[in-house]
Amino acid sequence: MDTRTSETRLRIERLRDALNAQNVHAVLVPSSDPHLSEYLPERWQGREWLSGFTGSVGSLVVTRDRAALFADSRYWTQAEAQLAGSGITLEKMNSGASTIYIDWIAQQLRPGETLAVDGQVLGLALANQLRNGLSRQGITLRTDLDLIQSAWDARPGLPTAAVYEHLAPQAAVSRADKLASVRKAMAAAGATHHLISTVDDVAWLLNLRGSDVECNPVFIAHLLLDASGGRLFIADGKVPADVSARLAADGIQLVRYEQAAAALAALPADAALLIDPRRVTLGLREAVPAGVKIVEQINPSTLLKSRKTPAEAVFVREAMAEDGAAMCEFYAEFEASMARGERWSELDVDAKLSAQRRKRKGFVGLSFSTIAGFNANGALPHYRALPESYSQIEGNGLLLIDSGGQYLGGTTDITRVWPIGTVSTAQKRDYTLVLKGTLALSRTRFPRGTLSPMLDAIARAPLWEHGLDYGHGTGHGVGYFMNVHEGPQSISKAIPDATMAMEPGMITSIEPGLYRSGLWGVRIENLVLNVTVDTPEKNAFGEILEFETLTLCPIDTRCIDLSLMRADEIAWLNSYHATVRERLQPLVSGAALAWLLERTEPLAA
């Protein structure tokens, strides 16, 4: 065994020691924190620390004699490699929303035995599923134990970096106005108080940003609002004095992070507390006194922040142009260097593309870790080149680059695929079918209020026609100088609910893909904005929306099999490239300008 694998086994054994000491028979370690975040501060990366699996989604179950990691198809290849020799088996799930581990636990444990999971990081909705699934088998669920704490001696503490304000003009809506909008929604729901635990909701609502989570400008905090004020539960020392004074002027008091549960426990008996069951943990819910009325609905801030204002959209377009200019500079350098026979690795792509972004106006940081995957690595949707594991870019094939930036005026996320050397007929076919999916959805019009999962099949249809598909969603919501993944909309195979309705101002990705394991991967991604279309039939049939493509970067035409493209598809692509050229031309010069002009040349229909 290598050192890493030995360390993994030792950590699992230490967890088992803690499990036995508490007389429980299994422990569930979800990818979660007290805020149910997608990306976690180090303190709550227990699943990664225990298993060595670095994917952003997955659940670990450890019994007294078995350990299993549950992950969906985006991570199967990665998980198999990272779990090798660890004694942890990979259990494959069909989707990230699956909870098949509940059935697995029920099969492993006998009636009367106990499963432990830390209630402070367990979502309320998942807790209900666990209880229902296990109680039928006579299995007890304990949520009062943090067994990770017992096993992890050097566990990191809370992040300490200071928060800062997101200021005008980019912060186009004031904190006071946002608070007023949320309180209006509270009143409409009959709530006197409202608990907000999701860190992006807290940051958006208070016009604050932080750096507690890599690539996400958020900070660890809870917020409890009432009809006129609020308490921000945050670690001491994180809010500068001048920011604290301005928060106080808007009725927001600072309270120690650890006091959130106590504040809930002290709510008056006649209080009515609005909580979002998908965005609050069991631990906090159980702190609420039995007499307090609970109002369950989606956080009003989640809906509000998903709908960017016209003023915010202006800044988003500016950020997209800056991001596009950075990519022109990078790709011009990359192609010229490769043409000279110079060697590049996937790590070089990451470093040099990030360096170009850092030069752009308003840039704050990356919006996620760059994915630069050549050939077989491109077939891993969440691949990341690391110093100990990466590929050289040489020979023939496809280079997939998925990257993005955080700007004061918006968040970017873009995927492009570029030919290296000679591209095969099969690779061109795959590339073109994915492109057709991107174009099909990009051109779609739909009634306002359409549930976003209903649009998913439009991007998949060109692939389905040839018996092909991909395992991830087609599109996710994107924040405004905020998390690169946000809800409530999701263009995916998710079972839709009313909160997923498409509304004007929402920004969503369109990113169909196709992955040939061990060979190559293709994904072509743009961000789009929901905008209203004026139609003659508007009064009779309601408001119609369409997508404005925000991302500004050429889509490589050398990989296209033109025999598979229709004239209207070519016309859309030519129109898009004309827009890219017009918007980016004033921002670049020299080699980058020459590259832009060449890559935006129109195709003949």
Is the confidence at residue 321, as pLDDT, over 50? yes
DSSP β-bridge partners for residue 91: 70
Whole-angstrom Cα distance, residue 541 to residue 538?
5
Peptide bond preceding 387: is omega within 30 degrees of 0, i.e. cis?
Answer: no
Average pLDDT on 480-509 reads 95
More confident residue, 199 or 100: 199
Indicate if the pLDDT at residue 3 is higher than 50: no
pLDDT at 389: 86
Q: Give the model's confidence band at 85: pLDDT under 50 very low, under 70 low, under 90 confident, else very high.
A: confident
Predicted local distance difference test score (pLDDT) of residue 80: 87
Residue type, 469: D
Instruction: Provide the token pair at 387.
Output: 């110093």
- Given a cut of 90, whether residue 402 has pLDDT beyond it is yes
Task: Please state the φ and ψ torsions of residue 222, each to the nearest 5 degrees.
Answer: -115, 155
As a residue count, the chain comes to 605
- In whole angstroms, give the CA distance from residue 299 to residue 279: 8
Tokens of 231: 């308490």
Integer-rounded Cα radius of gyration of the chain: 25
- For the segment 589-601, the average pLDDT, to the nearest whole number, is 98
**Pairing state of beta strands 507-510 and 513-516?**
unpaired
Element (H, E) at 456: helix 456-464
Are residues 507 and 527 in contact, defined by beta-carbon separation less than 8 angstroms?
yes
Q: Are 303 and 499 in contact (CB under 8 A)?
A: yes
Residue 101's pLDDT band, with cuts at 50, 70 and 90, is: confident
Which whole number is the average pLDDT over 431-454?
Answer: 97
Three-state SS for 80?
Answer: helix
Q: How far, in Å, CA of 450 to CA of 506, rounded?
A: 13
Q: Give me the pLDDT at residue 74, please.
A: 76
Q: At a CB cut-off of 8 Å and minimum separation 6, what does 381 contact?
A: 74, 471, 472, 513, 515, 521, 523
pLDDT grade, residue 1 (50/70/90)? very low
Tell me the pLDDT band of 72, cut-offs 50, 70 and 90. confident
Q: Which of the four pLDDT bands, split at 50, 70 and 90, describes residue 344?
A: very high
Please state the separation of Cα 476 from the chain's center in Å.
Answer: 7
Is 95 exposed, middle or buried (CB count within 10 Å of its CB: 0-12, 13-18, 19+)? Answer: middle
The helix (H) or strand (E) run that includes residue 275 is: strand 272-275
361-378 residues labelled b (16+ CB within 10 A) or e (exposed) = ebbbebbbbbbbbbbbbb
Q: Where are the beta strands (DSSP E) in 79-153?
A: 89-93, 114-116, 140-142
By the 8 A CB rule, do 521 and 400 touch? yes
**Per-residue pLDDT averaged across 193-221, rounded?**
97
pLDDT one-digit tens code per residue, 47-58: 999 999 988 888
The predicted pLDDT at position 18 comes to: 93
Whole-number pLDDT of residue 97: 55
Give the C-alpha separation, 323 to 319, whole Å: 6
Among the residue ranges 2-11, 175-184, 531-540, the one predicted with the least confidence is 2-11
Q: How confident is the model at residue 252 (pLDDT cuts 50, 70, 90)?
A: very high
Confidence of residue 95 (pLDDT cuts 50, 70, 90): low
The dihedral of CA 344, 347, 353, 355: what is its sign?
negative
CA 129, chain centre distance (Å): 23
Cα(574)–Cα(605) distance, integer angstroms: 9
Confidence of residue 442 (pLDDT cuts 50, 70, 90): very high
What's the confidence (pLDDT) of residue 5? Answer: 56
C-beta atoms surrounding 138 within 10 Å? 12
Task: Determine the Cα–Cα distance for residues 478 and 516; give it in Å rounded to an integer.
Answer: 27
Collapse the DSSP code of 278 into the 3-class scheme (helix H, G, I; strand E, B; otherwise coil) and give the result. Answer: coil
CA distance 321 to 360: 10
Joined together, the tokens standing for residue 509 give: 């990705």
Tens-digit pLDDT profile for residues 522-570: 999 999 999 999 877 766 778 999 999 999 999 999 999 999 999 999 9
- What lies within 8 Å, CB to CB, of 405 at 6+ separation is 319, 323, 326, 357, 360, 363, 364, 365, 366, 367, 411, 412
**pLDDT > 70: what percent of the chain?**
98
Q: Which of 203-217, 275-289, 380-394, 535-549 has the lowest mean pLDDT?
A: 535-549
Q: Does pLDDT of 331 surpass 90? A: yes
pTM of the predicted structure, to 2 decimals: 0.92
Tokens of 529: 């904005």
- Residues 11-30 have pLDDT tens digits of 999 999 999 999 999 999 99
pLDDT at 144: 94
- The mean pLDDT of 428-447, rounded to a whole number, is 98
pLDDT at 456: 98
Distance of CA 488 to the CA centre of its chain: 12
Arithmetic mean of pLDDT over the chain = 94
Please, what are the domains in the chain? 3-151 (3.40.350.10), 164-305 (3.40.350.10), 373-583 (3.90.230.10)
| Other beta carbons within 10 Å of 533 | 12
Asked, as a colleague might, if the bond just before 169 is cis with ω within 30 of 0, I would say yes
Return the ∠ at Cα 6 (arms to 385 and 26), rounded to 5°.
100
Give the torsion sign (CA, 38, 42, 44, 46). Answer: positive
* Pairwise CA distance, residues 142 & 200, whole Å: 29
pLDDT bucket at 167, cuts 50 / 70 / 90: very high
Closest CA to 195 of 121, 270, 267: 267
Q: What mean pLDDT is predicted for residues 263-274?
A: 96
Whole-angstrom distance, CA of residue 200 vs CA of residue 204: 6
